[in-house]
Amino acid sequence: MDRLAFVSPANVSERLAQAPDLAISTVIFALRPGGDGERATMWLPLVRRIREPFRGLWALPGGPLTQAESLQDTAARNLADTTGLAPKYLEQLYAFGGLHRSPSQRVVSIVYWAMVQAGEAVMTHESENVRWFKADGLMDLAFDHNQIVDYALWRLRNKMTYGSIAYHLLGETFTLAQVREVYEAVLDRTVDPANFRRQLKHAQHIEATEEFLQGGKHRPPRLYRYTGNTAPDSPAPAS
């Protein structure tokens, strides 16, 4: 992404130096079940940088904005290229444009965030240079990507309380206990099962199916379905 020689005839005075680079990156979240009494936790995939700057460090998947794609399409394609993932939920998070995010050329990053189901997450093209990590307690990442992840986690916690985010981390049908696990993982605290159930029963867009999850060790829980819009809950500006 080094854009070195930059020859533009017009408006030179407006740019003291080179125009900033424009990149799209994505924070992808998935829920990984916690083993044996442990709480489930949020995980995200990172890619190892194979070039300078920050060669060898892990970073969010991303790349330059391509000319013929919308911002969101660029994010989606880049995700597919690097990780093989195609998240159903993909929304803009924030534009990071500090002066010294990258050591050489200035880079403005428009960051998206995505949710994938646990089932999809295991189908990632993992390799030497692509791996999933637990979202909190990450090692030092390239650029300001630690800050970006922290911000995404903060937004996640906030949206959880009044949003439909949880369902994007789950499959087509799910038990109420699974929804509760998502809440407990994101909010990092226990939630009373009975009260949580009562709330979801009164909630919109949660529909009971006639099926039950079999194969568990105890009473089979009923499966539910989310009937709300699967897209981000804004009047999503397409442009």
CA distance 196 to 42: 20
List the interface residues with DNA, window 114-143 (CB under 7 A): none
105 binds, among DNA, a second copy, none (CB under 5 to 8 A by kind): none
Give the binding range for a second copy (CB under 8 A) out of 127-135, 151-159, 176-184, 194-202: 151-159
Binding to DNA by residue 195, rule CB under 7 A?
Answer: yes
Choices 10-18, 42-50, 117-125, 209-217; region in contact with a second copy by CB under 8 A = 10-18
Name the binder of 48 from a second copy, DNA, none, CB < 5-8 A by kind.
none
Structure tokens at 135: 């979202």
65 touches a second copy (CB under 8 A):
yes
Residue of 152, 159, 147, 144 lying closest to 43 (CA atoms): 152
Which class for 200: exposed (0-12), middle (13-18), buried (19 or more C-beta within 10 A)?
A: middle
Size of site (CB under 8 A) for a second copy: 52
Query: In the window 159-188, what residues touch DNA (CB under 7 A)?
Result: 175-177
The residues near 105 (Cβ < 8 Å, ≥ 6 apart) are 1, 2, 3, 4, 18, 20, 21
- Is 110 a residue that touches a second copy (CB under 8 A)? yes
CA 161 to chain centre: 17
- 3-state class (DSSP) for residue 187: helix
Among residues 29, 43, 58, 96, the one that binds a second copy under rule CB under 8 A: 96
Evaluate whether 57 touches 207 at the Cβ level (below 8 Å). no
137 part of the interface to a second copy, by CB under 8 A: no
Q: Nearest to residue 117, comparing CAs of 169, 156, 173?
A: 169
Rounded Cα gap, residues 198 and 34, in angstroms: 25
Quick check: 228 binds a second copy (CB under 8 A)? no
Instruction: Rule CB under 8 A: choose which of 33, 52, 66, 134 binds a second copy.
Output: 66
Q: Which residues in the 196-225 window bind DNA by CB under 7 A?
A: 197-199, 201-202, 212, 216-222
Based on the shown chain and the rule CB under 8 A, indicate whether residue 80 belongs to the binding site for a second copy.
Answer: no
Closest listed residue to residue 124, CA positions, set 230, 43, 13: 43
Chain residues that interact with a second copy, rule: CB under 8 A: 1-11, 14-20, 22, 63-71, 92, 94-99, 101, 106, 108, 110, 144, 147-148, 150-151, 154-155, 162, 234-235, 237-239
